[in-house]
Structure 1
């Protein structure tokens, strides 16, 4: 492969045998090189090919501005996540994660430690992603000697949550807002029934899965159809306490997020709440 663009001494752009643009990385790979020079295969440590145009441009910017070690750590963590999560991840993770890791390392070295107020909720709502976050901080400590606690693991987990979302235009701030809405809804359910959730139960898993997508709809302003009014009335009579709880949730999202719940939305949420509420309350 020949160099088509030099980003820094360690990163260059080329084209593979299929003519696709690739980013190649390696210590000293482009040192004293010129456009058109052949790339020494023995110096190539990683080759990246991104399919999303927007992510590709941002990736080039990140790759040229942060240490090679941070890029390679992020790639190692992403590889581990793909293997263990078994979910499709947006190419945006190759931009957001190395940028975040590099920034976190810099702040830690400067003695700036950020707390994560949603740490416990992230751990509860996204256990698999939180586990990846814990693996990530272990990798960072192994390679740099810099120690991070669970707050950083939770921050990293949100990057993977965001990369799993269907709407890849959302920022990590979007994933954070999704978690906030889930937290607020769970607080209303807990306050209504005075219960501790059985996080190992299938009903709880289904409830949380529904909440993730409900929160995304609230933030994007998209709605289910509004054609289940009759069935909603049946559910309201069968599960009055769960329905009353849903109404409280509806008031909250309308007041705070200007989102009006349709009959379909109320129907599905009431059904999920009914499954997790105490039997005595039904």
Structure 2
């Protein structure tokens, strides 16, 4: 393998046997080396091959200034996240999480510690991703000697939530906020709290999260369930009125009028979580 570009003493860009650019890392791998010289493969510790060209370019520029230790910590957290979540993650996670870890460490060294106002909601709505965030705190403490506060788990969780999205929108904060607001509307309407461990609550929250994602990306259900809605509004009047309150919030905030199909789903889910009250 031949060196195509030296980023710093520990990172180079090379070309593999298939003619594809790869990022190679290793302590001193580029020390005293220049473009066109062969790579000392014994010094290679990590290989990064990102298929998306734009993502690879961003990651490459990031690696110029980010310490190798931060990059390796981010990779360890990403690998844990892949196993824990069992989902395909966008390659942007390598850029976003590496940048976040690096920036957060620098912030802490300067005594700047940020609070996350949505931490509790992120923990409730994205428990698996939040668990990855908690693991990340442990990894950073062991590998870098930096004690992140628990709020950082939520910030890190958001990167994994966003990496799971099929589209490159940073929606997690907005989704969590919308989900919380809709849940609060139902709680106020029934003056109650819900069993967050129940299957019905899980189904309700899952539906609301997907609804929030559709709302933010402009993807909505067609308005073709008016007959079923007429039936439900008579059978479940209180639940329907609560769904209308959610509709008012959505219309006031996002200037979007809920379709009959969306009102049907909301009414049905509200019925499930309130039927035993």
Q: TM-score range by the shorter chain?
A: over 0.9
Report what 2:7 is aligned to.
7
Report what 1:222 is aligned to.
219
Distance, in Å, in 2 between the alignment partners of 1:258 and 1:268 is 20
CA distances 1:3-22 after superposition (whole Å, capped 9, x unpaired):
11111111111122222211
Q: Does the CA-based 8 Å contact 2:85-2:128 persist in structure 1?
A: yes
Q: Does the CA-based 8 Å contact 1:22-1:49 persist in structure 2?
A: yes
Structure-to-structure mapping, 1:115-134, within 5 angstroms: 115-134=115-134
Q: Tell me which moved more, 182-191 or 203-212.
A: 203-212
Q: Does the CA-based 8 Å contact 1:22-1:48 persist in structure 2?
A: yes
Q: Does the CA-based 8 Å contact 1:221-1:259 persist in structure 2?
A: no
**2:262 counterpart of 1:262:** no
Q: Which runs of 5+ in 1 are unaligned?
A: none
Report what 1:236 is aligned to.
233
CA distances 1:115-168 after superposition (whole Å, capped 9, x unpaired):
00000000000110110000001000001111012100110000001101111x
Q: Does the CA-based 8 Å contact 1:193-1:278 persist in structure 2?
A: no
TM-score (ref. length: structure 2): 0.97
TM-score (ref. length: structure 1): 0.95
Distance, in Å, in 2 between the alignment partners of 1:166 and 1:235 is 33
Report what 1:78 is aligned to.
78
Distance, in Å, in 1 between the alignment partners of 2:273 and 2:106 is 44
Moved over 3 A (4+): none
**2:24 counterpart of 1:24:** yes
Structure-to-structure mapping, 1:138-217, within 5 angstroms: 138-167=138-167, 169-171=168-170, 174-217=171-214
Distance, in Å, in 2 between the alignment partners of 1:241 and 1:91 is 45
**2:51 counterpart of 1:54:** no
Q: Which runs of 5+ in 2 are unaligned?
A: none
Q: CA deviation at 1:239?
A: 1.7
Distance, in Å, in 1 between the alignment partners of 2:254 and 2:78 is 33
Distance, in Å, in 2 between the alignment partners of 1:247 and 1:136 is 41
